[in-house]
Structure 1
Amino acid sequence: MLHHEFRVLSAITAISAGVYGLPRGPGPGPARQSQFPSVGVPAQNRFGPLRFRREGTFHVSIFEDLHFGENAWESWGPQQDIHSVKVIETILDAEPRTDLVVLNGDLITGENTFLENSTHYVDRIVRPMLQRGLTWASTYGNHDNDFNISASAILAREQLWPNARTTQMVSDPGAGVSNYYLPVYAADCHPDQHRHGGCRPELLLWFFDSRGGFEFQQRDPATGDRVGKRNWVDARVVDWFRHTNAQLVRAAGGRVIPGLAFVHIPTNASLALQQKGVDPHRQPGIDDDKPLAQQAQGWCPDRANDGSRCAYGGQDVPFMQAIASTPGLMALFSGHDHGDTWCYKWEGLLPGMTVEGSGVNLCFGQHSGYGGYGSWIRGARQVVVSLKGLKDLAVDTYIRLEAGDAVGAVTLNRSYGQDWYPATPNDKTKLPTSGN
């Protein structure tokens, strides 16, 4: 089965290479960059910089927890992947004004993959975007790191495609891979102007690697077990984020630049908000994963990976401090907990917390793939940003379901959390041949 699966995926890659211009070889790995790169513009692909539309809007479609590659040796595994592709296609066709696709972690169920072809699933995931001429940007999740797969290898596979905007801006070993930002410019910013300071970004998109899972090709010499990988945004990444954002603000003449952020595993602040209580009409969405799994879960304050004696180690505190203290940051979007789909405005000091919220919205998306646990209806969170709304640091968001419906539509503005919205239905879908 291993060799058959490898031949099938290789054939798909070869065909795609002819259609989309993919290099047929393995290609170089991701280029290493300095810890704090000079703040100009991330390396551009042939599609040029991201820009608002002429009417002043920018639309992001967020797919998360696709979990490709589960049990490829059984009939239901490949069927899940087929249905996951259909979800992506259906939603992108229902959202024709999508300007960027975000893949927010757990692209692949790494523990089920083989070393020889573990990253080839990327080709299946991104094909709907390639066919529609869309670009994408990824974060990586805990299931993207395992004995036979690594986030670095996934990045190298992604970067074979010209539509990929995923990159790596923090090169420190162990700090994670998908840590970078993408600026979004006004429509009238000429593709060359941004390189020479002629125009400044109207919006910043920040991507963070919460890591987790297991180290690539490593086993504990004493037990032979896989070696756990730290599951929080590294402090070195937090330093890079603060430094880079400050440089960008200075380059913009001190003007606060609105931002959105993406990370796979939510912070402890999301758990504290959930424990405070999710109101179906103030924070509409499914709230079935209770308690949710946050960063630093199962680690001890001394960084020992011992879930038997430590529920939470607190290592995400620096990241939470940075998120809460960054002016203009409107929302942080997470995945990981498949049964949670709400947004919550983080304000004040919550019980059990040491970091005080300042109004940033913490949001989940919708479980997008047929892989992974749970039978909640598949979908993808949509985020629509307008230049007009940015003046008040407000964005619109909703979830587009595979059935075609749009649910949970809200405006993340100053009054979010006080405004009343219809409750989100809790529908289920499953494969006819499986219990998922």
Structure 2
Amino acid sequence: MKSSTYLAGVLGALASLQSAVTLPVIFQAETEQHTLDPYPHKPRLTFKWDGTFKLVVFSDLHFGEKPEGVWGPEQDKNSIILMKTVLASEKPDYVSTSFDASVLNGDLVTGENTYRENSTLLIDQIVAPLNQARVPFSSTHGNHDNQVNITHLEEIEREQKIAPLSYTRTAPAGVGGTEGPGNYWVPVYRHFWDRAPILILWFFDSRGGVSTNPNSTVLPDWVDSSVAGWIKSESKAMELAWGPADTRGALAFVHIPPHAVQSLQTNLDSTKNPGLNADKLGGGSVQASNDPSTLGNDGPFWDALTANVKNLHAIISGHDHGNEWCAREPAKDVVFCFNKHSGYGGYGEPEWGYGVRNIVFRSPDPKKGVDTWIRLQGGETRARVTLDDTYGRK
């Protein structure tokens, strides 16, 4: 009994240390030349001691609609209630917003409806539940986050200022194209003292929307081709620092779905691809589809992602509020999943419900499958699948 009590105390002390500090200075100095660390002053994200890691994905919150009346603010209050309810019950490790987490996957704000002078203050409301729960998180940004009253960069800078556990950052200069700064990756480690991560979370900026007033112009709605070269160079740097890419797993988030997934909808099977399928994919619902002349402009990104990022468990998008399904894209042999519409703002139907996508790694082994499902605000679950080598194959 005494030894088990001692062991429990040691494990508890290590867990407290993990959640409270970054790597010791001496350890950082000894390994600095051998590793990449974009977050030297933040706690490392790690798998739990039992070998699991959980993500909760909020998508399409659409804060700030009709701020001059009652309807818009009430929608935002309902969205905050949903976030608090989910965070309290799901206890995520990392939310792509404890040491599990979360993700905010685009369209945080409806930037055409809010006011220019205080639009970034909506970010304060959105991240408040995450700050309160002390959940690390990352964000992507969508077409409604680039509008006459807001930009992706402004949202990122505000988030970085007010959310200590935000891991959102911007790409190097020249990467991302016009109004597309949010391309970055976040490492997740098996143990916080490990030299190399076991999982990489990739985040991409699909842009869209319009530029800010007074001279608003339509923005491209695809991940810029400059990101393709960046994916290649970052992947090479990771290999030099940490060894072969196939020793790590990966998960990718982008708000607007890649154009290649549009064809998947015609062959969905409600048993193999469970979940709501209420939004028909077409013009504007996937990247580079608003204008026939732009068809294929997301190709460099799509090709670079699928060719260079190994053990890619899934590419996950929002944007189309009525879809929840996952499917395998056969040409590149990768799995794509939709999120769940989380916000009470934005279009939708009451019967669709509101909720999140849960993603659970049962093992840090990058070859093992990942469980994912839709969780509604009231606790109901649906569309549960395991994303492994057999998923989506005939």
Range into which the TM-score falls when normalised by the shorter chain: 0.7 to 0.9
Contact 1:231–1:295 under 8 Å retained in 2? yes
Q: Which amino acid aligns with 1:339?
A: G
Match of 2:288 among 296, 302, 326: 296
Greater per-residue helix proportion: 2
Contact 1:368–1:380 under 8 Å retained in 2? yes
1:412 and 2:394 aligned: no
Match of 1:89 among 84, 105, 109: 84
**Equivalent residues in 2 for 1:168-187, closer than 5 Å:** 168-172=170-174, 174=178, 176-187=180-191
Q: Which amino acid aligns with 1:328?
A: N
Cα gap change, 1:45 to 1:373, in 2 (>3 Å): farther
Q: Which amino acid aligns with 1:176?
A: G
Contact 1:379–1:399 under 8 Å retained in 2? yes
CA distance in 2, matches of 1:388, 1:90: 28
Match of 1:391 among 346, 363, 367: 367
What residue ranges of structure 1 are gaps of 5+ in the alignment?
1-37, 191-197, 220-225, 304-312, 348-355, 420-436
Q: 1:142-180 deviations in whole A, cap 9, x for unaligned?
A: 000011111111011101121211001232252612100
What residue ranges of structure 2 are gaps of 5+ in the alignment?
1-33, 94-99
Match of 1:40 among 36, 39, 64: 36
Q: 1:22-42 deviations in whole A, cap 9, x for unaligned?
A: xxxxxxxxxxxxxxxx97111
CA distance in 1, matches of 2:210, 2:306: 29
Q: 1:352-383 deviations in whole A, cap 9, x for unaligned?
A: xxxx22x2110001000000000220000011
CA distance in 1, matches of 2:214, 2:143: 16
Q: Which amino acid aligns with 1:365?
A: N
CA distance in 1, matches of 2:172, 2:224: 10
Q: 1:35-70 deviations in whole A, cap 9, x for unaligned?
A: xxx971113444x11111111111111000000000
Q: Which amino acid aligns with 1:123?
A: D
Task: Say which SS state the counterpart of residue 215 (structure 1) adopts.
Answer: coil
Contact 2:238–2:245 under 8 Å retained in 1? no
What is the match of residue 242 of structure 1? 232
What is the match of residue 362 of structure 1? 336
CA distance in 2, matches of 1:94, 1:142: 30
Task: Say which SS state the counterpart of residue 397 (structure 1) adopts.
Answer: strand
CA distance in 1, matches of 2:214, 2:207: 16
TM-score where L is the length of structure 1: 0.76
What is the match of residue 353 of structure 1? none
What is the match of residue 354 of structure 2? 378
Cα gap change, 1:236 to 1:418, in 2 (>3 Å): closer
Shift of 1:388: 5.1
Q: Which amino acid aligns with 1:380?
A: V
What is the match of residue 278 of structure 1? 268
CA distance in 2, matches of 1:214, 1:39: 39
Task: Say which SS state the counterpart of residue 111 (structure 1) adopts.
Answer: coil
CA distance in 2, matches of 1:291, 1:345: 16
Identity among equivalent pairs (%): 41
Contact 1:218–1:227 under 8 Å retained in 2? no
Matched positions, count? 346
Q: 1:84-118 deviations in whole A, cap 9, x for unaligned?
A: 00111111112024311100000000000111101
Task: Say which SS state the counterpart of residue 112 (structure 1) adopts.
Answer: coil
Q: Which amino acid aligns with 1:413?
A: D
Shift of 1:389: 5.0
